[in-house]
Amino acid sequence: MLQDQKYRSTLSGTLYSKLGIHVERCYQCGKCSAGCPAASAMDLKPSIILRMLQVENERYDREVLQSYTIWLCLSCHTCSTRCPMEIDIPRVMDVLRSESLRQNLIHPRAKDIVAFHVSFLNTIKRFGRLWEVGMIVEYKIRTRHFFQDVLLAPVLFLKGKLTVVPHKCVSIKQLFTWKKQESSL
Amino acid sequence: MKFGLYPGCSLEASSREYLESLRAIAPKLGLEFEEVKNWNCCGASSAHAIDHLFSVALPATILAQAEQQQLKDLVVPCAACYSRLAIAKIELTENAKVRNELQAKYHLSYTGTTNILTILDVLERVITPEVSKQLPKRFTKNVVCYYGCLLVRPQRITNVQRVEDPQQMEEIVKTIGAHPLPWGMKTECCGASFSITRTELVGKLCGRVLDDAVCRGAEAIIVACPMCHSNLDMRRSVIEHVTGKKYTIPVLFITQVIGFALGLTPAQLGMTRHFVSTESIVSTSV
Amino acid sequence: MARIGVFVCHCGENIAATVDCEKVAKACAQLPGVAYSIDYKYMCSDPGQNLIREAIKEKNLTGVVVAACSPRMHEPTFRRACAEAGLNPYLCEMANIREHCSWVHPKSEETTLKAIDIVKTIIAKVRKNQPLYPIKVPVTKTALVIGGGIAGIQAALDIANAGHRVILVEKEPSIGGHMAQLSETFPTLDCSQCILTPRMVEVAQHPSITLYTYAEVESLTGFIGNFVARIRKKAKSIDEKLCTGCGECVNACPIKKIPSEFNMGLGTRPAIYIPFPQAVPNKPVIDRSRCTYFRTGKCRFCESKCPTKAIRFDQNDEVINVQVGAVVVATGFTVLESTFFPEYGYGQYKDVVTGLQFERILSASGPTLGEVRRPSDGAIPKKVVFITCAGSRDPAKGIEYCSKICCMYTAKHAMLYKHKVHDGQAYVFYMDIRATGKGYDEFVRRAIEEDHVKYIRGRVSRVYERNGKIVVCGADTLLGAEPVEIEADMVVLATAGVANPGAEELAQALHISYDRHRFFTEAHPKLRPVETNTAGIFLAGACQSPKDIPESVGQASATASKVVALFSRDELTREPIVAVVNRCAPPLYSTCVGCFMCQTACPYSAIEREELRTRDGTLVKTVARVNPGLCQGCGTCVAFCRSKSIDLQGYSNEQMYAEVVELFAE
Amino acid sequence: MKEFEPKIVAFVCNWCTYAGADLTGTSRIHYAPNVRVVRFPCTGRIDYNLIIKAFERGADGVIVSGCHPNDCHYTSGNFHARRRWIVFRTLLEYIGIDPRRIIFSWVSAAEGAKWADLVNKAVREIRELGPAKEFINMKQWYEFEKALGGFRG
Ligand SMILES: Cc1cc2nc3c(=O)[nH]c(=O)nc-3n(C[C@H](O)[C@H](O)[C@H](O)COP(=O)(O)OP(=O)(O)OC[C@H]3O[C@@H](n4cnc5c(N)ncnc54)[C@H](O)[C@@H]3O)c2cc1C
Ligand SMILES: Cc1cc2nc3c(=O)[nH]c(=O)nc-3n(C[C@H](O)[C@H](O)[C@H](O)COP(=O)(O)OP(=O)(O)OC[C@H]3O[C@@H](n4cnc5c(N)ncnc54)[C@H](O)[C@@H]3O)c2cc1C
Ligand code: SF4
Ligand code: SF4
Ligand code: SF4
Ligand code: SF4
Ligand code: SF4
Ligand code: SF4
Ligand code: SF4
Ligand code: SF4
């Protein structure tokens, strides 16, 4: 019983009990890391993440949640398409990200990525749709990357690709109110 | 032929030429679209990066609306939106827990009757041999078809044949006279949503794509996804900065090349909005 | 009324220390049907056995119960003793009061009572025992060997050399199997042809072996010792007696561009062809699906060139029935083709080849005459990447097993490549190196240490073509899964060994079982590894699972010894512990209702259909019948039969009920 | 008061569990004396009517034990036994037998200690259930059998 309890409290326990993802299946072939487009920029390659989850100890679980990798995953599904053991790695990454957020263990270099996602979702929250100008302004404020892409904006505007006024759709307001109450998996 | 249409955010903004070209070719191919009313954003890669259930809720709202409008076949031109909607549909039909939770919270009554189609699924149906024979122009170029990730993966969602070497786009462009070339980067990732946050990475990944396309002798890259397009087109200067090479190869939406063959002007097809000039390819085609 | 003798053994102190043996004997003497009951110190000793033999004679016993150790230990001993005294041995049973009683309980009243219970139940059973007689079946001393690879060749030679007749059936025009295609063989690097060809010739010349090539077994009926095989000899379109194998016809054939099966598509052959120079028999066949004459009615060049007028366009397939006593299945395996691998290009790249194709490239008699040249442009590849476990150990691709031979042949390939291209570089991507035979790991180490083959631990994600190079994307999992990209000139996939395309149909025709990968299953993985569940049918070589040559040959010789043992007797004697379907007088004939539930249950396909007819031949009903040659006596059918029409001799319903009821008798 | 001593019948296969119980003996592992063994060639041979018969005659519990899956001497007899057991289980309550009185297990020829554990566990559990006094409506059972399409010869 004690064993079970302990198992459930680890990340691989969570992955198994909530999503049926069995990280023990991974036999460390490295095929995922070999094909991952973002691997070169990752601090821990995908197969290493899987290995650390298999160990099931607090230290590695924490390192995984603090890794840069989980924020760099593009959800391109290259890895899972080729994984011989059919492990849904992008889905694992999804779970790790939300857990990292919850425990506030976000990798310092990933803060801007998180800021992007938050700005994105905030824009949808306000307008129901994405309004790129609004989102980028928020993102820049959040990250202080004021000068990134400044050269692109006027061209975009000239090409008619930036809208000055947001499109609106309000039907999903309630999604957000509910989301605040319980951010469950 | 009538279809429901979910344009998605980027087709109204940064990739509006995609929607413009689609709307331009529609009447000539006998296509009619009914837009999903009051649609919201599908959440793209941000929602699922942060919260899974939420990433299903956003597309579920769209699907429920589509169903209310009785849209049997819903075409989703953006590959990213397509993927989110298709994943949500599977979650809703296969995962009772998620379905019940969503139903309880927002009374989303989605029964799963709406088919979700990519742009390729639609074009494949309407560009018949007869249609192709009557085209005023032919797009006789050497091209490479670029699918990126979301049109093909995960295969469980897309059901695409030959996941590492799909042929659907090739078959379509062949009917308008193009010569699709075999190449190695067809389904590699362009960096997708990291366009703003990790432009360098996008530059590197897109660099590989452009490099291979050029090496194979392609005169244009054909895409069916706004993200692929903006990364390969809009981010060209970053790519060139990262790779240290110059690339002039234009990137065209499949709807644009079809529009070309249908005799529409570059302006009608929104080609003037591109960052990389399409001049060469348009002026030398017959 | 039964007259049963009960013999209670003390086993020295082993039983007597905790069980009051005398009391057991006395209690049993009171039971109905017991004519004699006695206890004795060592029943299995000579005096003990004598005691039984004499009692049988003196007391006219109709049954014997020995209450002693486990029947698994001494049942044969006491049954033999009974037989010697003239009592049918199956009327003797043992009651286990040692392992199941005296050794597991303390000395007590209760232990003795349990012992009495145990003996009581067996007495109850013996009351219902019937004399049984060993089943005798005659044996046809001819073996059928299906498949002429190294395994089939070895089995055929061993059986024939023991003095029995063999019929060897091979579906291709020549025997030899995959071994004939190999260049050199691990772990000793001897030339495959050199060691195989003499055996092939021996088969052809052996007076006791009848060889049918270009032939297939269509069905098999009967049972151990008495099979009938139906063999289809496909039309070769030549008269083998007239043909001298001169090859004039082959040279004459204008259709030259057919991909050669023997060279794995890397070379070509004509429509009339001899698969390879050392083929046995060394005579051509016409591939009718490709021959112009068979397709259009015109040509016959070959015929005009044949000096002995041996070509027969009008030949038909010939179907023959042969009687055989045993069957050796040695149909081998095949390997996955590169088209199976999406991530490695669906077989689109000419320079991505399979291991078997690489064998042909390395082979001195292959399409490049032994020079390593890549298929696309004939250039000598300077960088070759070998990818192991291609398709094997890959549940996503439906193959979770290890193919067992590829680690070794990949080491061999890399080594032979280095021996031929000294300035070349060989890389091997691997997950584990499985080199577990004698001298095997040393072999792999040699490749790494002496031939400097670079082994990289990681599975390749993707292979694609770029500027005439094959780009291999892998990762080095021993370096933190760091991505590795190699621009190779050629890639060799060690593709999984899989069952032959026709394996399933053959198994069904032979009534043998196969696993979900369509490899044939052995009767027991450890103790009966060369037998099938069907008595008299044996397995040799890679048709059971991927195997290397030493193992295939070892297994082939093992099957041969099984066959020879079977043929060493004129008749087969089998334990009569078999099921029988009852028969009774008209109008019922049998209580069997013909539901054939038993047939679905029987693991040995021992249940047949039998039509019961009246004297004048009208059909009464179709009922089950057990083929005693096939039945192994598991009794599963008995439990399945709702009408209680089928029963197992030695463990009949009557006997088993009697045991249970006796337990609770007051 | 003396504790209730249940009477248990064990239906075992010859190749695995019977041999396993032999090993318990050779290893001199002691266990409760309440069990009487009936030997079958294979668990596949065990007809559920025999189990009913045992209860009808006064057994308090039944053990059915054979080879581990895939280890069956006859390759698949134990699978058949398992499958039949699943059907049989649902019928037990109908005729008034608590399914907990039947203990299904696998004991291999090498698991001497496991046999002892199995017997002890069975005795303990069935002792807790008390004597099998549930009314066994045999008539109902035979009707059921008949309804299933068979007839008793
Ligand atoms: C690339 C490669 C390299 C190898 N290198 C080595 C090595 O260096 N050393 C080593 O020890 N082993 C090696 N092996 C393994 C070796 O090839 C096998 O161990 C051996 O071929 C198995 O022999 P077999 O007779 O069981 O099967 P096979 O060689 O497959 O022969 C089976 C025969 O049965 C015939 N047949 C099939 N179906 C039927 C049918 N229905 N009716 C009649 N006939 C039929 C086939 O035509 C064939 O002739 C290698 C294997 C591969 C793939
Ligand atoms: C730890 C371990 C675990 C194993 N587990 C498994 C497993 O799970 N599954 C499996 O399949 N295999 C297993 N094996 C392998 C298995 O034990 C062997 O395959 C098997 O025992 C080999 O049998 P053998 O008859 O060749 O040799 P042995 O079992 O060694 O028998 C040789 C016999 O010869 C006798 N002998 C020796 N010299 C002489 C002499 N000069 N004169 C007369 N008699 C002599 C010895 O006393 C012995 O009785 C295991 C082995 C080990 C060490
Ligand atoms: S590809 Fe799959 S099995 Fe291989 S290392 Fe990655 S997760 Fe593990
Ligand atoms: S889904 Fe993530 S981990 Fe997998 S290949 Fe793509 S980026 Fe890498
Ligand atoms: S018959 Fe069995 S119990 Fe009796 S002495 Fe012999 S070994 Fe011991
Ligand atoms: S008849 Fe057929 S086999 Fe003979 S030469 Fe012509 S094509 Fe070749
Ligand atoms: S030419 Fe005639 S004799 Fe010569 S190989 Fe051909 S068939 Fe045989
Ligand atoms: S033998 Fe080696 S290469 Fe072949 S499947 Fe097994 S581990 Fe992989
Ligand atoms: S199960 Fe019984 S009744 Fe049915 S066919 Fe077999 S023997 Fe006859
Ligand atoms: S006893 Fe077993 S082998 Fe014999 S017929 Fe019945 S089920 Fe088949």
Q: With the C-alpha atoms ordered C276, C280, C282, C287, is the resulting torsion angle positive or negative?
A: negative
Q: Where are the domains of chain C?
A: 4-128, 142-234+317-332+500-566, 248-305, 334-498, 579-649
Q: Where are the domains of chain D?
A: 8-147
| Count of CB atoms situated within 10 Å of the CB of C41 | 15
Nearest CA in chain A to B48: A94
Q: Which residues of A touch C462 (CB under 8 A)?
A: 34-35, 82
Chain D nearest-CA distance from C70, in A, is 7
Q: Is C52 in the pocket of ligand 5 (CB under 6 A)?
A: no
Q: Is C629 in the pocket of ligand 10 (CB under 6 A)?
A: no
Chain C nearest-CA distance from A45, in A, is 6
Q: Does B212 touch chain C (CB under 8 A)?
A: yes
**CATH 3.40.50.300 assigned to C334-498:** no
Pick among B161, B185, B212, B214 to test the C interface (most C CBs inside 10 A)? B212
Q: Is residue C387's pLDDT more than 70?
A: yes
Stated pTM of the model: 0.81
Q: Which residues of C touch D45 (CB under 8 A)?
A: 634-636, 638-639, 648, 651
- The pLDDT tens digits of the residues spanning B159-198 come to 999 999 999 999 999 999 999 999 999 999 999 888 888 9
Nearest CA in chain A to C390: A84
Coil, helix or strand for C250?
A: helix
Q: Where are the domains of chain A?
A: 5-106, 109-177
pLDDT of residue A3: 47
More confident residue, C383 or D111: C383
Q: Does B155 touch chain C (CB under 8 A)?
A: no
pLDDT of residue D70: 66
- The pLDDT tens digits of the residues spanning C8-25 come to 999 999 999 999 999 999
Q: Which residues of C touch B163 (CB under 8 A)?
A: 342
Q: Does B119 touch chain A (CB under 8 A)?
A: no
Q: Is residue A150's pLDDT more than 50?
A: yes
Of C567, C510, C559, C551, residue with least CA distance to C530: C559
pLDDT of residue D150: 44
Domains of chain B: 2-119 (1.20.1050.140), 130-285 (3.40.50.11810)
Q: Do C477 and A29 touch (CB under 8 A)?
A: yes
| Closest residue CA from atom 52 of ligand 1 | C356
Q: Is residue A171's pLDDT more than 60?
A: no
What atom in ligand 6 is closest to the CA of residue C311? Answer: 4
- The pLDDT tens digits of the residues spanning C79-127 come to 999 999 999 999 999 999 999 999 999 999 999 999 999 999 999 999 9
For residue A164, name the pLDDT band (cuts at 50, 70, 90).
low
Shortest-distance ligand to the CA of residue C527: 2
Using CB distances shorter than 6 Å, the residues near ligand 8 are C 388-389, 392-393, 402-404, 406-407, 432, 434, 494
| Closest residue CA from atom 4 of ligand 8 | C406
Q: Is residue B69's pLDDT more than 80?
A: yes
Share of chain C above pLDDT 90, in %: 86
Whole-number average pLDDT of chain A:
81
What fold, for D8-147? Rossmann fold (3.40.50)
Q: How far is CA B53 from the centre of its chain?
A: 25
- The pLDDT tens digits of the residues spanning D41-81 come to 988 888 888 888 898 888 999 999 988 876 677 766 677 77
Listed ranges B73-87, B103-117, C513-527; the one with the highest mean pLDDT: B73-87
Nearest CA in chain C to D41: C634
Nearest CA in chain C to B165: C342
Radius of gyration of chain A (CA): 19
Q: State which H helix or E strand residue C507 sits in.
A: helix C503-510
For residue C587, name the pLDDT band (cuts at 50, 70, 90).
confident
The Å distance, Cα C274 to ligand 6 centre, comes to 13
Q: Is residue A181's pLDDT more than 50?
A: no
List the structure tokens of B232.
């390969």
Which overall architecture, per CATH, does domain C142-234+317-332+500-566 show? 3-Layer(bba) Sandwich (3.50)
List the structure tokens of D65.
């034990």
Pick among A104, A162, A175, A178 to test the B interface (most B CBs inside 10 A)? A175
Q: Which of B14, B50, B197 sits opposite A112 (nearest CB)?
A: B197
Q: Which residues of B touch C466 (CB under 8 A)?
A: 184, 212, 215
DSSP-assigned beta bridge partners for residue C384: C426, C490
The domain C4-128 is placed in CATH, from the list 3.40.50, 3.30.110, 2.40.50, 2.60.40, at 3.40.50
The mean pLDDT of B25-39, rounded to a whole number, is 92
Q: Do C473 and A34 touch (CB under 8 A)?
A: yes
In the block, tokens 């309630």 appear at A174
pLDDT of residue A7: 56
Chain B nearest-CA distance from C348, in A, is 10
Kindly list the distances between the CA atom of residue C81 and the CA atoms of C52, C74, C87, C92, D130, in Å, as whole numbers in the listed order: 7, 11, 9, 10, 46
**What is the distance between the alpha carbons of residues A46 and A25, in angstroms, rounded to a whole number?**
14
The Å distance, Cα C44 to ligand 5 centre, comes to 5
The Å distance, Cα C89 to ligand 5 centre, comes to 18
Q: Do C475 and A40 touch (CB under 8 A)?
A: no
Task: Assess whether chains C and A touch, using the rule of 3 or more C-beta pairs within 8 angstroms.
Answer: yes
Nearest CA in chain A to B98: A185
Confirm if C184 and C412 have CB atoms less than 8 A apart.
Answer: yes
| Closest residue CA from atom 7 of ligand 3 | A26
- The pLDDT tens digits of the residues spanning C151-196 come to 999 999 999 999 999 999 999 999 999 999 999 999 999 999 999 9
Confirm if B116 and B89 have CB atoms less than 8 A apart.
Answer: yes
Q: Which residues of C touch B162 (CB under 8 A)?
A: 342, 346
**What is the distance between the alpha carbons of residues C501 and C260, in angstroms, rounded to a whole number?**
18
Q: Do C483 and A48 touch (CB under 8 A)?
A: no
Shortest-distance ligand to the CA of residue C460: 3
Of C199, C101, C272, residue with least CA distance to C552: C199
List the structure tokens of C42.
């060592």
Ranking A105-119, A165-179, C432-446, D117-131 by mean pLDDT, the lowest is A165-179
Q: Is C548 in the pocket of ligand 1 (CB under 6 A)?
A: yes
pLDDT of residue A117: 86
The Å distance, Cα C256 to ligand 6 centre, comes to 10
For residue B48, name the pLDDT band (cuts at 50, 70, 90).
confident
pLDDT of residue B36: 92
Of B165, B83, B177, B76, residue with least CA distance to B127: B177
Confirm if B36 and B64 have CB atoms less than 8 A apart.
Answer: no
For residue D135, name the pLDDT band (cuts at 50, 70, 90).
low
Window 6-65 of B, Cβ < 8 Å to A: 9-10, 12-16, 38-41, 43-54, 57-58, 61, 65
Which overall architecture, per CATH, does domain C579-649 show? 2-Layer Sandwich (3.30)
3-state secondary structure string across chain B: CEEEECCCCHHHCCCHHHHHHHHHHCHHHCCEEEECCCCCCCCHHHHHHHCHHHHHHHHHHHHHHHHHCCCCEEECCCHHHHHHHHHHHHHHHHCHHHHHHHHHHHCCCCCCCCEEECHHHHHHHHCCHHHHHCCCCCCCCEEEEECCCCCCCCHHHHCCCCCCCCCHHHHHHHHCCCEECCCCCCCCCCCHHHHCCCHHHHHHHHHHHHHHHHHCCCCEEEECCHHHHHHHHHCHHHHHHHHCCCCCCCEEEHHHHHHHHCCCCCCCCCHHHCCCCCHHHHHCCC
Using CB distances shorter than 6 Å, the residues near ligand 4 are A 36-38, 46, 73-79, 89-90, 93
The Å distance, Cα C406 to ligand 8 centre, comes to 5
The Å distance, Cα C78 to ligand 5 centre, comes to 11
pLDDT of residue C416: 97
Radius of gyration of chain C (CA): 33
Kindly list the distances between the CA atom of residue A154 and the CA atoms of A130, A142, A150, A151, in Å, as whole numbers in the listed order: 19, 22, 8, 7
Q: Do A160 and B201 touch (CB under 8 A)?
A: no
Which chains form contacts with chain B, at 3 or more CB pairs under 8 Å? Answer: A, C
pLDDT of residue A184: 37
Q: Do C471 and B184 touch (CB under 8 A)?
A: yes
pLDDT of residue A185: 32
Whole-number average pLDDT of chain C:
95
Identical fold, C142-234+317-332+500-566 and C334-498:
yes
What fold, for A5-106? Fumarate Reductase Iron-sulfur Protein; Chain B, domain 2 (1.10.1060)
- The pLDDT tens digits of the residues spanning C279-335 come to 999 999 999 999 999 999 999 999 999 999 999 999 999 999 999 999 999 999 999
The Å distance, Cα C67 to ligand 5 centre, comes to 9
What atom in ligand 1 is closest to the CA of residue C177? Answer: 49
Chain B nearest-CA distance from A77, in A, is 6
Ranking A128-142, B59-73, B197-211 by mean pLDDT, the lowest is A128-142
Q: Is C567 in the pocket of ligand 1 (CB under 6 A)?
A: no
Q: What is the DSSP letter of D143?
A: H
**What is the distance between the alpha carbons of residues B180 and B142, in angstroms, rounded to a whole number?**
6
Q: Is residue C59's pLDDT more than 50?
A: yes
The mean pLDDT of B30-34, rounded to a whole number, is 94
pLDDT of residue D15: 86
